[in-house]
Amino acid sequence: MKPVLFRGATLLPGAGIWTPRPAMDLLLDEGRIAAIGRGLDLPEGAEAIEAGHLLLLPAFINAHTHSPEALARGRAPMARLDPWLAVQYAEGEDALPAARIRQAILVSAAEAIRGGAVQVTDHFRQIPPNLDAVAVAAAAWAEGGIRARVAMMLRDLPSPTASFSPPSTAQALALAEALLKAPPPGAEIGLGPSAPQRCTDQLLMGVGALLRRHGGFLHLHLCETAKDAADCRARFGTDPVAHLELLGLTGPQAEFAHCVHLADAELDRLAATGTLMVHNPLANLRLGSGIAPVARALARGVRLGIGSDGPGSNDTQDMLEAAKLALLLPRAGRPDAEWPTPGQVLGMATGGASLAAGARADLIAFDLRGAAFLDAKPEEIAPRLLMAARPRDLRHVLADGRFLMRDGALTPPALAALP
């Protein structure tokens, strides 16, 4: 992979700095940002890209999705979560053959890249969970060029809205340990208990012990709906975050998706433990689950990411769209003081990354000549990126210095034939 020099670009540096820096050169080499400045020399063998019309910023990270749903969109459009789940997976999307898993993931990867994402966390559901399916998923994400984190979904309690019988606690933990002992290539591997109300404490404690022993990350749904939150509090006799902390399931390697119905004290616990809260605004809107307390979480120092959620509850994998909804959804039902700013939302969508020397060369490039940026003042660039720009304005997507999309065309061979 040869070095690439973007000449004269406008940069949004990231990591809290969203004031544009015009006419900057940016050199990529060996998967890293090698240098940033003006008038940089072109190294021997490097490619120069004239970028005076380009806006560069850190790439997006999709912090929560379910890839099998890519084959089943638009179902139960008037349903809330539990009845929607009963319809969404009724035709076997949680028991797919290998070829269909690969198809779903390649479609998801193409859509993710077109929306500016280079990394995805796939809360991967197949019932019964099995190692072969996880291996197929990891390989398919790699084939699509995406840096993936695959969390095998686990549960050991039945659902009143589903016909399947989950594995026993012992079976689920044995499978989880086998996965962590010999993780398949192609993705970072973690464990994904479905949600506290769908798992026994024995399973949750066992998952925590396995992750501490073998490494990996924890990813689960938490308090997505008011009913989920009420069920958890009734069962545990305390707030769900406190209970998960008691079970050893909070911390920097733990990620809780949704968190729509958390109180301030629970947000404080997330902040104190360094646990990631993943906001899924479009899915929460689609299923009528509520508006997550994003600004209150940010004010308390909670780490936040943004997810698209699955293509069944979002119906796209477009992170640019998800980021726009993250900015605007609180305005429908939260006081003005709880509206996140464009800079805060961009920080969430990019995982706090920055364009800085030595940083990973994950970046996206928008065309400033598009209608979204016409006559934009410097202070309007970041807001327009979120509120006006669309995937058609995105020209390049790079992960570790590799082009995943160049001049609007997907570059991974497996994605070339996709619509």
Classify 61 as helix, strand or coil: strand
Distance spanning both ends of the chain, measured CA to CA: 27
pLDDT of residue 162: 64
Q: What average pLDDT does range 270-298 have in this prediction? A: 98
For the cut 90, the answer to whether the pLDDT of residue 351 exceeds it is yes
Which class would CATH give 4-59+353-412? mainly beta
In 3D, which of 207, 216, 275 has the Cα closest to residue 240?
A: 275
**Domain spanning 60-349: CATH superfamily:** Metal-dependent hydrolases (3.20.20.140)
pLDDT of residue 165: 84
Cα Rg of the chain, angstroms = 21
Q: Which DSSP letter does residue 293 get?
A: -
Q: Which DSSP letter does residue 17 get?
A: B
The model's pLDDT over 223-238, given as tens digits with 9 standing for 90+, comes to: 999 999 999 999 999 9
Domain ranges of the chain: 4-59+353-412, 60-349
The model's pLDDT over 239-266, given as tens digits with 9 standing for 90+, comes to: 999 999 999 999 999 999 999 999 999 9
The model's pLDDT over 176-198, given as tens digits with 9 standing for 90+, comes to: 999 999 999 999 999 999 999 99
Amino acid letter for position 205: M
Q: Name the pLDDT band for 163 (thresholds 50, 70, 90).
A: low
Q: What average pLDDT does range 23-44 have in this prediction? A: 97
Give the pTM. Answer: 0.97
The model's pLDDT over 57-73, given as tens digits with 9 standing for 90+, comes to: 999 999 999 999 999 99
Q: Name the pLDDT band for 280 (thresholds 50, 70, 90).
A: very high
Contact predicate 326/280, CB 8 Å: no
Residue with tokens 């299923």: 287
The model's pLDDT over 64-111, given as tens digits with 9 standing for 90+, comes to: 999 999 999 999 999 999 999 999 998 889 999 999 999 999 999 999
Amino acid letter for position 220: L
For the cut 90, the answer to whether the pLDDT of residue 348 exceeds it is yes
The model's pLDDT over 371-393, given as tens digits with 9 standing for 90+, comes to: 999 999 999 999 999 999 999 99
Q: What mean pLDDT value characterizes the chain? A: 96
The model's pLDDT over 292-330, given as tens digits with 9 standing for 90+, comes to: 999 999 999 999 999 999 999 999 999 999 999 999 999
For the cut 80, the answer to whether the pLDDT of residue 160 exceeds it is no
C-alpha span between 355 and 345 (Å, rounded): 17
pLDDT of residue 417: 78
C-alpha span between 191 and 114 (Å, rounded): 28
Burial of 29 (0-12, 13-18, 19+ CB in 10 A): middle
For the cut 80, the answer to whether the pLDDT of residue 419 exceeds it is no
Q: At what angle do helices 169-181 and 131-143 cross, to 10 degrees?
A: 40
Q: What average pLDDT does range 349-368 have in this prediction? A: 98
For the cut 90, the answer to whether the pLDDT of residue 418 exceeds it is no
C-alpha span between 74 and 346 (Å, rounded): 28
Share of the chain above pLDDT 70, in %: 99
C-alpha span between 263 and 271 (Å, rounded): 13
The model's pLDDT over 119-133, given as tens digits with 9 standing for 90+, comes to: 999 999 999 999 999
Classify 62 as helix, strand or coil: strand
Classify 352 as helix, strand or coil: coil
C-alpha span between 16 and 19 (Å, rounded): 9
In 3D, which of 254, 252, 258 has the Cα closest to residue 218?
A: 254
Q: Which DSSP letter does residue 59 get?
A: P
The model's pLDDT over 330-345, given as tens digits with 9 standing for 90+, comes to: 999 999 999 999 999 9
